[in-house]
Amino acid sequence: MSAPTRRYEDAVARYFEAWNAGPDAVAKAVAAAWTGDGGYTDPLADVRGHERIAAVIVAAHEQFPGFSFRLAGPVDGHHDTARFSWELVSDAEEGLAPVAGFDVITLDGEDRIRSVFGFLDRVPAGV
């Protein structure tokens, strides 16, 4: 695996660590993944800063308890930008993934996330 590819995969791994962190660990995981002024934007949220990003993650887990985010395909990137698909999957029921999407991230020189632009490809009715 090339160094540039590893760069994107490592950043995405930290991203998922934040999204899958428990309530007591989410703030630390967000700080490890994002720059201090980093942002997160999707159709349901547009926030900047660690505290607000952590709040979005906590709210997602409150809405979908017992679910985890996982990578759904390869990570692709160039320059300071990477893209990847993901799914929100049930921890108890194999094959149940009610939410799926596609994210684009930009990285700083230390490979921390500056911005996330998320797109929702599959969402349950009422969300």
Q: What's the pLDDT at 124?
A: 87
Mean pLDDT by 10 residues, the chain (127 residues): 80 98 96 98 97 98 96 97 97 92 97 98 84
Q: What's the pLDDT at 84?
A: 98
Structure tokens at 97: 């993934």
Q: What is the pTM of this model?
A: 0.93
Query: How far apart (Å, rounded) are the C-alpha atoms in residues 100 and 102?
Result: 7
DSSP string, the chain: --HHHHHHHHHHHHHHHHHT--TTTHHHHHHHHEEEEEEEEETTEEEESHHHHHHHHHHHHHHSTTEEEEE-S--EEETTEEEEEEEEEESSSTT---EEEEEEEEE-TTS-EEEEEEEEEE--TT-
Q: What's the pLDDT at 5?
A: 80
